[in-house]
Structure 1
């Protein structure tokens, strides 16, 4: 069916979104009819590969943003190892991510042996680089970098061993997150020289400049909201994940995000003869409409609805200077989570 909504930026604009036929509509009331599947309630433990081009510098999370902020540790790292971001930007990091030693089947065997019941692949981070054969975005892992369908290969390995398969999307925040790439040094010999993100040639990676009042986690730009919907719907429709994670609240706090959730639920019902088997999880209280996620945190008490913690033994992207957490920390946290 076709569902038309209005997303408001500087002016009201109607965005037409197509979602799968089914009982779920893009409203909070409709989503109260969702029931979390038993497989997720019983799984207890999954493993997530938070991996992509930002791992190349081995300098930790948010590299693609912080390398454009003078004074940040990652800016200094980039300047020393790759050059000034007015010339050598994140676009030049992407080809260095070749994944030449990546063996998803061998890794999945290790994950299953460790006790994982489900596996989650990075789909796209805030860096606006899709790790699948994207229909709508040329900056993807099949076109460049490793030139492999990272999501597809992870999925094949997980399914071969009987693990449920999920994908994570961090794309909604990308528009405002990447805006420092349009800036320049404030001091020094290159003060005022624009970074490479200011070059319109690369707006499809770094995004166009945001409006002055568009600074929140989720952009108010309706064109961006529609692009997000089309790309994440493409991810859902191509891979039919058992779980979809959003890094943030329901995207854009409006019917664009709710439409994607409704599409995910309806398309899953259509594939599974009316029995829901899919999980959507994000960082927003849900009262059972989806699975609430707590990044690096836990519930303070037993919760009547299923929930999820996502955490890491180190930085989110590989950081060679990070001291990893001990095994005892992992075990104690898992016990605490499962008990609630």
Structure 2
């Protein structure tokens, strides 16, 4: 059976299909976990792409437009940025050097030990969720685990390496979920742990140079090695999952990206590893009842070597129908084909579509790094509120939502620069939110010079910030019932703007325009309409947070 046949067989739900050794076969199961423990709920959805393609995005998600995310876990403790738990084992990298200086050599102080010093001592989830709601967020998401494989909740299947047993000894997801519920926000969880298998392979390495050359890092330690240590009785392999051969070209640090879809020479994960991931995720869903599950995966977790991701999605959809009488859940995934976009919400990482998408989608991005980085704070390198708002407006015009991460420090707080950005976003949203919430795409998403050089998506996204900056010549549109919102992406230097799409006689807007209002102040504006466009005259005084200016046209 070739790879194409395998994918097709999994897609139509043929059970028990495994890959050959040549095509990333499952390794033999050596720990006895041969059967799924958690069962998927029966219902209208089955674990096939064809069945899941009957999904319809719930209206709450389409109306919400703007969510905030706490991409927070033990990798925030060193304050050295994203992928710390992988790159601290990469000899010569800045994170390796930082780790050696701050904590010691990774043969003696590995990532398991970073987890031990993470205490989240100042974490106040209610306060942060309250801040995000005041800034205009209509849903909230928290990270349930990252590629570092620590579950941030009371996990039945990662029973020793979870945040209630080590590190802060707190139910992080439980705390976030309660705060979201108190503030009436739909609650999402992000799940990244499927890739710990290959992502953590750097922990199997050893220095090639210097006085510690040849001494293995701690990635292959076992329970027997813990005698007399703080982790005595714990098995590091339950965290690192490195009791396997290195993937092909594992010493090449860029290989991990090419193996994200479980091809290109990755050492195939055992069925026990896959089943454990499945059980952990079903347990998470059953315990905390999230409205949304974000997967940091190409398509769904473990696809195409396993259909467990399809099982998880079907379970979530069926559970939503069983619990609420209708489908209200959202699942997101990356790099989706046309069929897969019908089965779930397409997520674009740090990027935007260049067109109005026929189905709702989401961009996820961050004002800094995904995990907290002190260097970004020190150089004041965060995205501005203006940049965030411009991204939101552009995404909404194309039928999308924006999920924004505000990096959280290891102690559970955000810094004062981040707080100011969140507050500034809130100022704009309070004045202009009507042009965002509950809207739908118009006939065209916009006009102006910025769209003329829109950069193409790269892999799962990564085209943000590569286009031309927005100016007062750039307009973005959104519609709500009989109202049209045209947002001018800067305060016009000449005191007026010309909107070509609204020219007299245009098929885009054949009806009469009776009123143009500056939404932020409710002020009616003078306008002229002719064959060149709709010319709108702005007032002399700029309102607060005027880096984007929504016009309400009726």
Instruction: Return the TM-score normalized by structure 2.
Output: 0.59
Is 1:236 aligned to residue 285 of structure 2?
A: yes
Is 1:246 aligned to residue 280 of structure 2?
A: no
Cα deviation, residue 289, structure 1: 0.7
Map of 1:220 onto structure 2: 268
After TM superposition, list the pairs within 5 Å mapping 1:91-130 onto structure 2: 91-130=112-151
Cα deviation, residue 208, structure 1: 2.7
Map of 1:325 onto structure 2: 383
Map of 2:240 onto structure 1: 206
State how far apart, in whole Å, the 1-side matches of 2:28 and 2:48 are: 19
After TM superposition, list the pairs within 5 Å mapping 1:72-221 onto structure 2: 72-137=93-158, 138-201=160-223, 202-213=236-247, 216-217=259-260, 218=262, 220-221=268-269
* Alignment CA distance shift 1:305-1:15 (3 Å): farther
Cα deviation, residue 200, structure 1: 2.2
RMSD, matched Cα: 1.7
Map of 2:321 onto structure 1: 269
5+ long unaligned stretches in structure 2: 1-13, 20-24, 224-235, 249-255, 399-554
Cα deviation, residue 179, structure 1: 0.9
State how far apart, in whole Å, the 2-side matches of 1:30 and 1:321 are: 47
The worse-fitting range, judged by mean Cα deviation, of 210-219 and 29-38 is: 210-219
The worse-fitting range, judged by mean Cα deviation, of 91-100 and 55-64 is: 91-100
Map of 1:298 onto structure 2: 352
State how far apart, in whole Å, the 2-side matches of 1:153 and 1:306 are: 29
Map of 2:307 onto structure 1: 255
Cα deviation, residue 204, structure 1: 1.0
State how far apart, in whole Å, the 1-side matches of 2:331 and 2:354 are: 22
State how far apart, in whole Å, the 2-side matches of 1:281 and 1:73 are: 32
Contact 1:298 1:337 in 2 (8 A): yes
Task: Provide Cα deviations, 1:149-201, integer angstroms capped at 9, x if missing partner.
Answer: 11011010111111000000001111100111111111111111011112123
Cα deviation, residue 213, structure 1: 4.4
After TM superposition, list the pairs within 5 Å mapping 1:1-80 onto structure 2: 4-8=15-19, 9-10=25-26, 16=36, 18-80=39-101
State how far apart, in whole Å, the 1-side matches of 2:356 and 2:117 are: 45
5+ long unaligned stretches in structure 1: none
Contact 2:194 2:277 in 1 (8 A): yes
State how far apart, in whole Å, the 1-side matches of 2:202 and 2:383 are: 31
Structure with greater Cα Rg: 2
The worse-fitting range, judged by mean Cα deviation, of 16-25 and 92-101 is: 16-25
Contact 1:49 1:122 in 2 (8 A): yes
SS of aligned partner of 1:18: coil
The worse-fitting range, judged by mean Cα deviation, of 239-248 and 207-216 is: 207-216
Cα deviation, residue 71, structure 1: 1.1
Cα deviation, residue 284, structure 1: 3.1
* Alignment CA distance shift 1:145-1:47 (3 Å): same
SS of aligned partner of 2:16: strand
Q: Which has the higher contact order (CA 8 A, sep 6+)?
A: 1
Aligned residues: 337
Cα deviation, residue 15, structure 1: 5.5
Contact 2:41 2:318 in 1 (8 A): yes
* Alignment CA distance shift 1:35-1:306 (3 Å): same
* Alignment CA distance shift 1:10-1:291 (3 Å): closer
Map of 2:331 onto structure 1: 280
Cα deviation, residue 248, structure 1: 1.4
SS of aligned partner of 1:247: strand
Contact 2:153 2:172 in 1 (8 A): yes
Map of 1:338 onto structure 2: 396
State how far apart, in whole Å, the 2-side matches of 1:71 and 1:20 are: 49
Map of 2:441 onto structure 1: none
Instruction: Say which structure is richer in helix.
Output: 1
State how far apart, in whole Å, the 1-side matches of 2:203 and 2:295 are: 23
Task: Provide Cα deviations, 1:94-148, integer angstroms capped at 9, x if missing partner.
Answer: 1211111111111111010000000001100000111000001111111111111
State how far apart, in whole Å, the 1-side matches of 2:156 and 2:180 are: 23
